[in-house]
Structure 1
Amino acid sequence: MIDWTHWHNEPFLIGGLIFLGWLYAILTGPWREQLAPGALYPRRHAVKFYAALVIFYLAVGSPLDQAGERYLLSAHMLQHQLILYPAAVLFLLGLPDWLVRPLTGRPGLRPILRVLTHPLVCGVLYTAVITVWHLPSFYDLALQNRPVHIAEHFSFFGAALFYWWPLLSPSKEFPPASYAWQMLYLLAVLIGMTPVFAYITFSTDVLYPTYEYAPRIVDGLSAAADQLLAGAMMKLVGMSVAMIAFGVSFYRWFQASEARAGKKQGRDCTG
């Protein structure tokens, strides 16, 4: 059964998160003057960045990992939602423009980054990564093989950064897409993700043997019901987050349109 006192403390996980936190502190602290002369300490960015690290650890290092790896697909799905949404969003929001400029500002990298950060590439990459990992052969392999499971979670996080880039890019060289394109992008990715949502939610068979034969730790929650819950969670959370983002983009697009119309009317009156 689940040991609710067990938290992962592997050196690569704890050490990696501590290293990222230390590197961020160095770059935004002692080295800030070299990267962005005159810039103030990005306090709000820092809070978001460190919150992203905490959420990532809660997703993969807490007892939730044991529940998702051995017993419940729905628990594993919750892990993925934490990685794909709050962790990735806060990570990007925690990066000031001047912190990513040494990478995005390199002339030699611009052609590659221009392709990689294009909304079409970001959307296809995100959809492909999530879909492939949810195929039974890959998904169960990750559950049975710890290094593969780690690779799965890091690839989810990387794919999520690409997914959110056209919406939340911190870079002036590769800024977010226009609001109109953001709305189209969000709808397109939702449509692209529908097959994997439907595959998990409406399958008449239990797709993943690990969960089919796992001890039932929640009374009344069969493997089939757990799978239905996981698929519904995947669909509803993903759709809700996308619709919130769509609403924000629509509001900003409307505000920008009103501002442009106001300026045009002012010029006409002046003329």
Structure 2
Amino acid sequence: MHLGIFGFFALWSPLFIITILFITAVYFLITVKWRNSFKESEPLTAKQAAYFLISMLLLYAIKGSPVEVMSTMLFSVHMTQMATLYLVFTPLLLLGIPAWVWKSVVKLPVIRPVMSFMTKPIIALVSFNILFSVYHIPAVFDNVRTDVTLHGLFTFILFILAVFMWWPLLNPADNKIDLHGLKKIGYILGSAVLLTPACGLIIFANNPLYATYYDPTEWLKALALCVPAGTLSGLTLSGPELFTSMSLEHDQQLGGVIMKIIQEIVFGFVLASLFFQWYKKDQAEADQAMQQYENAGYTAPRPVE
């Protein structure tokens, strides 16, 4: 079957587009028009605006486009959605919001103690990965995917924990965070290790784990969360096999592999950025030392011919 049977509103979520446009408008009002209302503010940079706009486009692509409906039919699409939301969208959003905005938010009385505790590297690292692993326990997963309240709650909490996890690495508020040098590498490697058991369980399982993909009744409950009830009432659907030829086992294994690959690509990019920053810092320090040496009246020795 073609996804078009679910209708335009289910596939393209016009209300979600309006929400994203509203958030984008508020973002530019705060960072441009109302910027002078804040004591410590700086002009919005092109890089920050680009990061934010890309994050909004990415958010719509994974939560407002047909990908949302497809995620109820293919576990591999669901895992792609999860990996993109928490490992790509979240850091882009953090980088897109100026430091002075983050500082204003973090200073709020209710948020300050929470941020102070939850952004400690060990707490931030363990909390996200533990909840992510718990979420993918079959009994938990099936209940969350078929209950609109639980689904929204888990999605929101995982996103907040993803913000905490990325905070020590990106330091978007320019605070003094005790995570630098080799500690950042250890932090990234630790995250990769902590996520491995959940992905391994999914990849090496000998049978389908999640009833929302192999049980027609549970699958329809999950589908009802993103498709209007009036649309489903007029359809006769037996299961996700109507929309894909991939077996449940292969789809499940592919989902675990995709999650791990996206994580490795993202963290590999972060590691490369760290090494590049270190190289630039070392070069700047070497140039500064040479300038001081020359200013003192010394001349750099010439190489022997």
Q: Which residue does the alignment assign to 1:145?
A: 147
Cα separation, 2, equivalents of 1:183 and 1:8: 40
2:50 is aligned with 1:47 = yes
Say whether residues 1:30 and 2:33 are aligned partners. Answer: yes
Report the equivalent of 1:215. 240
C-alpha distance in structure 1 between counterparts of 2:40 and 2:104, whole Å:
14
Q: Please list, as runs of the form range in 1=range in 2, the aligned pairs for 1:219-238 lying within 5 A after superposition.
A: 219=245, 221-238=246-263
- Displacement of 1:199 in angstroms is 0.6
Give the SS at the match of 1:171: coil
After superposition, give the CA deviation of every residue in 1:75-113 in whole Å (9 maximum; x if it has no partner): 111111221133112211111111112123458864542
CA contact (8 A) 2:74 2:240 kept: no
Higher relative contact order (CA 8 A, sep 6+): 2
2:85 matched to which residue of 1? 83
Counterpart residue number, 1:184: 186
Q: 2:265 aligns with which of 236, 240, 250?
A: 240
Aligned position for 1:161: 163
Deviation of 1:123 after TM superposition, in Å, equals: 0.6
- Other structure's SS at 1:85 match: helix
Alpha carbons of structure 1 residues 19 and 129: separation in structure 2 relative to 1, 3 Å: farther
Mapped partners of 1:249, 1:110: distance in 2: 28
Cα gap change, 1:15 to 1:150, in 2 (>3 Å)? farther
Give the structure-2-normalised TM-score: 0.77
Please point out which of 46, 52, 66 is paired with 1:63: 66
- 1:128 and 2:160 are equivalent in the alignment: no
Shift of 1:128: 1.5
Instruction: Give the drift of 1:261.
Output: 5.5
Partner Cα separation in structure 2 for residue 73 and residue 178 of structure 1: 37
Q: By how many angstroms is 1:268 displaced?
A: 7.4
Residues 116-150 of structure 1: CA distance to partner in whole angstroms, max 9, x if unpaired?
22211211121122111111112111221233223
Superposed, 1:96-111 pairs within 5 Å as: 96-105=98-107, 110-111=112-113
**Paired residues, number:** 268
- 2:1 aligned with 1:9, yes or no? no
Per-residue deviation, 1:74: 0.4
- The runs of 5 or more residues in structure 2 that have no matched partner are 216-238, 299-305
Cα 1:166–1:37 change in 2 (3 A) is closer
Partners of 2:56 and 2:36 in 1: CA distance: 25
Q: CA deviation at 1:44?
A: 2.8
Which moves more between the two structures, 124-133 or 243-252? 243-252
State how far apart, in whole Å, the 2-side matches of 1:142 and 1:159 are. 17
SS of residue matched to 2:207: coil
CA separation of 1:266 and 1:18: change in aligned 2, threshold 3 A: closer
TM-score (norm 1): 0.86
Aligned to 2:115: 113
Structure 1, gaps ≥5 residues long: none
Residue 167 of structure 1 deviates from its aligned partner by: 1.8
Q: CA RMSD in A?
A: 2.7
Q: Deviations for 1:221-240, whole angstroms, at most 9, x for unmatched residues?
A: 11001001001111111122
Q: Higher mean Cα deviation, 169-178 or 125-134?
A: 169-178
Any idea what the Cα deviations from partners look like across 1:25-72, whole Å, max 9, x if unmatched?
221132101115673343432232132122112211111111112x11
Whether the 8 Å CA contact 1:2–1:63 is kept in 2: the answer is no
Alignment of 1:186-205 (within 5 A): 186-205=188-207
AA partner of residue 236 (structure 1): I
CA contact (8 A) 1:168 1:176 kept: no
| Equivalence for 1:20 | 23
Which one has a bigger Cα radius of gyration? 2
Query: Counterpart of 2:222?
Result: none
Q: Which residue of 1 aligns with 2:224?
A: none
